[in-house]
Structure formats: C-alpha cells, structure tokens
C-alpha cells in the first residue's frame, strides 16, 4: 500500500473540497469572496471529519499513513488548517443573491445563529487542546474526549445554514460521507474502543529501577499479543491514578510465554508516578500493536541510533530470533552519563551476542566518537547504501540530519517515528 504523507492527507482533503464547491456553484461566481468562504467552510468541516476518522485508531487508517505517529501528526495539522479556513468562513459571508440557497435541515433563526457561533467556538476549543502542551495529560485527555460531541455541533451548522449546496450535490455527498464516517469514528473512540480494540491483560512479574527509570516485565493473564519487534502499545494500569493509557515501545521481541518488557523514564507526572509506584503483581491492559518502525528490507549497511529510552525498539530487534544480517549493523547509544538504562555493559553483552557493533555516545551526536565512526562507515561503503534507523528526541534527530547531509547520506535513508504524540 502506498503511504500517504500527513501534508498530502491535508492537501487532498482541502483540494477535493474546493473543487467540489466550484462544481456546484455558477462559474461566474468563482472569483468572489463568497465562493471562497463557502469552499473554506466545506474544507474546514471535511478536515474535522477526517481528523475524527484519524483519531479512531482503526488499523487501516494507520496502515494508510504509515504509522500512528504520522496519523497524529496529520490529525494535528488538520485541526490547525480547519481553524484557519473556518476563520475565513466566519469573516466573509458565504452567500450571493444570485445563488439559489436553502438549508438541508430547517430550524428557527435563533437556533441557526446559535449553532453557527457554537461551531466556531467548538473548533477553536479543539485546536487549542491539540496544541497546548502545558495542560496536564489527565486533564487534556478528559477534555479531548469531548471533541466528538463538538463535531456534532459543526455538522449541525452545515445542515442548518442556507447554502447553494444540496445534500445530493457532489459537495453535499462528500460532506455527508465524511460526516457519517467522522461521527462513527468519534462514537467508536469514545464508547467502543476500550472493549473492542485489540488488547490483552497482563501482570507485572519483575520490576527494576535505576536513575529515575524503570524496567518492567509483564506476562499475559490469558493469551498474549501478537506484535513485531519495534512496535509499541498503549499501557493502561488498573490502579488508582494510573489508569490513563500511555504509549510505550515494547522493548522485547515476541516470546513463547508472551512476556513483554518496557523501559520507562520518568519525564512527566504520569511516568514519574509509574517509575516510583510500579510493583510486582500489578495488572495492566496493553492495547497493541501499533507502529511501523522496521528494519530496511535491503541495505548495504545499517546504522541504528538511539537516544535515551529510544533504545527500546533496538533492544527488541536485538532479541528478535528471526532477525538476519545483524553483522552489518552499528548501534549508536546516546545517553546521559550516570543515567544509562540499560547500562552500557548490559547493552554491550546483548550486542556481542548478535554480532552488532555498539558505539556508546555519552556526549551527544556532536561528540568526536559519534562523528568519526559515522564518517568511517560512510567511507567504508557508498553513502547512498547506508540505511539509518533512529529513535529519540527531535533535537537529536535534527543534529543527525545535519551530519547526514555533510556525509552525503540521503535524507530518504533515515527512518524514524515521531517521539512525541502531543
């Protein structure tokens, strides 16, 4: 399946909306603010509906965009563009005397005006939630659940305004189809996801802590998850104050006993609580698998680069009994001295067992050790044949990108997942 990039998903949704509006209105009125306002309103609603579909976590949506991280990125930008287009739609009247207009759903003038104003406030509220990182996650998640209900208000606005677009017109059918899918996705995410989504119950059987981080080993209570090394899941503990599902990479490959491991560092309120209070015997639900972070099918040379807890997918790849050609791999482990978890010694032992070269990098990607070894690899083989897989903070990825350009390694050879979901 061809992967749709986030910007393409936004562009196609907006482009189709504008073209269908032009199809439905007279050609003589195309070059007017009214037509542009109408098209902007249609596109804003289409983006909101598509954004709701993306938030459903349906597997086909994730496959289409190449990973849940890309889905969330597209989801965010759709909200931003929807607000911008809706703002234009609010400022300029989407109507002309020459148009034949009628509402799809007849209501009183008072309710029509109220729904119109509430729809813009609802969209603005959704976007502010999506972009504001200062809201504590447990509050943010609770408010974000209202997005589906707010989307209903926007759909009602479309149905009750006087418009030249009838329900059976191309633009009307476009909005109807997206609205039905969007409302279905919102209802599924709010009401059915906890019980119908693919998940299993696990029990914690081993816990070890060091330097503000925890390693947990969990075994399935009855039947484990089927996943590939490098994928992640949403971990939800059945403990008071720890019931919020959070995404974590599974730091182990599939095993016969179904056990999984997680390496979690305390970087926020929830993860610090998890590091401090997790204990043997706790029960958790894991919603998985998600993610498409994988090794290249063909590569002259592989370079894996991990930053901090970004080592998790590479630990899973090292444990994968099906993994081949690991002797062509160099693993760079970027860590803060005194906070390496797992330790360099433990990671070295695992790398040696699979024939992987390990390069510890305690001083960041600008250190001489990192630059020199990556440069040597680029001279040993053609730079275009080097495939890099990265997992870590965005700042580290930016530094890596600069070095790749200096060495002539194509940017398309870099594979990664976005490290942050919000």
The pLDDT tens digits for 399-412 are: 899 999 999 999 99
The pLDDT tens digits for 301-349 are: 999 999 988 999 999 999 998 888 899 999 999 988 888 888 999 999 9
The pLDDT tens digits for 25-59 are: 999 999 999 999 999 999 999 999 999 999 899 99
Q: Retrieve residue 390's tokens.
A: 């990265």
Which phi-psi region, left, alpha or beta, contains residue 213 (left: φ > 0; alpha: ψ -120 to 50)?
beta
Same domain, 207 and 278: yes
Helix, coil or strand: residue 222: coil
The rounded radius of gyration (Å) of the Cα atoms in the chain is 25
CATH classification of the domain holding 43:
1.20.120
Q: Is 335 exposed, middle or buried (0-12, 13-18, 19+ CB in 10 A)?
A: buried
| pLDDT for the residue 24 | 93
Q: Measuring CA to CA, which residue among 130, 182, 128 is closest to residue 154?
A: 182
| pLDDT for the residue 27 | 95
**pLDDT over 60 (residue 421):** no
DSSP string spanning 77-100?
Answer: HHHHHHHHHHHHHHHS----TTS-
Banded pLDDT at 134 (limits 50, 70, 90): low
Same domain, 279 and 357: no
In terms of pLDDT, which residue wins out, 92 or 419? 92
Q: Does any domain span residue 210?
A: yes
| pLDDT for the residue 144 | 66
Same domain, 261 and 334: no
106-118 mean pLDDT = 75
Q: Give the long-range contacts of residues 33-37, CB within 8 A, separation 24 or more.
A: 33/92, 33/93, 34/92, 34/93, 34/94, 34/95, 34/96, 34/99, 36/88, 36/92, 37/88, 37/89, 37/91, 37/92, 37/93, 37/94
Q: Measuring CA to CA, which residue among 391, 400, 335 is closest to residue 361?
A: 335
Same domain, 190 and 210: no
Same domain, 375 and 399: yes
Edge-first strand order for the sheet with 386-391 is 357-361, 329-334, 301-307, 386-391, 414-416
Domain ranges, residue 207: 199-290
pTM of the model: 0.86
| pLDDT for the residue 400 | 92
Helix/strand/coil percentages in the chain, nearest 5: 50, 15, 30
| Domain end position, chosen among 160, 194, 228 | 194
Q: Does any domain span residue 295?
A: no
Q: Does any domain span residue 1?
A: no
| Domain end position, chosen among 168, 194, 220 | 194
Q: Measuring CA to CA, which residue among 388, 389, 359 is closest to residue 373?
A: 359
CATH classification of the domain holding 368:
3.40.50.80
Under 8 Å between Cβ of 265 and 249: no
In terms of pLDDT, which residue wins out, 225 or 299? 225
69-73 mean pLDDT = 90
Q: Within 239-384, where are the H helices?
A: 269-277, 312-319, 344-354, 368-380
DSSP string spanning 20-80?
Answer: HHHHHS-GGGTTSHHHHHHHHHHHHHHHHHHHHHHTT--HHHHHHHTSHHHHHHHHHHHHH
Rounded CA-CA distance 83/96 in Å is 23
| pLDDT for the residue 2 | 61
**Count of structural domains, the chain:** 3
Distance set, CA 13 to CA 32, 78, 386 (Å): 22, 9, 35
| pLDDT for the residue 142 | 63
Q: Does any domain span residue 114?
A: yes
Same domain, 248 and 333: no
Q: Which residues pair with 361 in a beta bridge?
A: 334
Same domain, 148 and 27: yes
Same domain, 221 and 319: no
| pLDDT for the residue 234 | 94
| Domain end position, chosen among 155, 172, 194 | 194
Banded pLDDT at 87 (limits 50, 70, 90): confident
CATH classification of the domain holding 234:
2.40.30.10
Rounded CA-CA distance 220/272 in Å is 24
The pLDDT tens digits for 8-31 are: 999 999 999 999 999 999 999 999
Helix, coil or strand: residue 388: strand
The pLDDT tens digits for 136-184 are: 666 666 666 667 777 888 888 888 888 999 999 999 999 999 999 999 9
Tell me what the pLDDT averaged over the chain comes to.
89
Same domain, 183 and 282: no
Where is average pLDDT lowest: 137-146, 269-278, 394-403?
Answer: 137-146
381-408 mean pLDDT = 92
């Amino acid at each position: 399946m061809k992967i749709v990039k986030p910007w393409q998903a936004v562009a196609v949704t907006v482009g189709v909306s504008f073209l269908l509006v032009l199809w439905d209105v007279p050609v003589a009125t195309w070059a007017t603010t009214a037509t542009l306002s109408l098209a902007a309103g249609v596109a804003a609603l289409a983006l909101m509906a598509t954004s709701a579909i993306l938030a459903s976590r349906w597997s086909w949506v994730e496959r289409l965009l190449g990973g849940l991280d890309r889905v969330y990125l597209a989801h965010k930008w759709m909200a931003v563009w929807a607000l911008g287009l809706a703002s234009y739609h609010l400022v300029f009247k989407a109507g002309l005397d020459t148009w034949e207009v009628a509402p799809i759903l007849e209501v009183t003038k008072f309710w029509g005006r109220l729904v119109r104003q509430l729809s813009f406030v609802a969209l603005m509220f959704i976007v502010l939630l999506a972009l504001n990182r200062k809201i504590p996650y447990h509050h943010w998640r609770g408010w974000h659940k209202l997005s589906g209900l707010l989307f209903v208000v926007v759909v009602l606005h479309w149905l009750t305004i006087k418009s030249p677009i009838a329900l059976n017109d191309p633009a009307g059918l476009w909005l109807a189809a997206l609205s039905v899918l969007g409302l279905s996705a919102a209802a599924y995410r709010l009401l059915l996801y906890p019980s119908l989504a693919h998940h299993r119950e696990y029990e914690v059987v081993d816990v070890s802590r060091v330097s503000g981080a925890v390693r947990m080993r969990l075994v399935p209570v009855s039947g484990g998850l089927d996943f590939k090394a490098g994928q992640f899941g949403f971990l939800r503990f059945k403990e008071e104050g720890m019931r919020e599902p959070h995404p974590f990479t599974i730091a182990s490959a599939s095993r016969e006993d179904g056990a999984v491991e997680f390496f979690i560092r305390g970087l926020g309120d929830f993860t610090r609580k998890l590091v401090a209070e997790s204990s043997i015997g706790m029960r958790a639900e894991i919603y998985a698998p998600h993610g498409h972070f994988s090794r290249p099918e063909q590569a002259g040379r592989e370079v894996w680069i991990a930053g901090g807890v970004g080592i998790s997918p590479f630990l899973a790849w090292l444990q994968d009994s099906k993994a081949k050609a690991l002797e062509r791999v160099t693993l760079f482990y970027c860590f803060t001295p005194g906070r390496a978890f797992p330790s360099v010694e433990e990671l070295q032992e695992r790398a040696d067992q699979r024939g992987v070269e390990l390069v510890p990098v305690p001083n960041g990607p600008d250190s001489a050790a990192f630059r020199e070894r990556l440069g040597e690899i680029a001279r040993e083989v053609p730079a275009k044949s080097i495939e890099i897989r990265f997992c870590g903070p965005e700042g580290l990825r930016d530094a890596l990108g600069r070095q790749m350009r200096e060495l002539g390694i194509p940017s398309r050879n870099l594979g990664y997942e976005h490290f942050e979901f919000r």
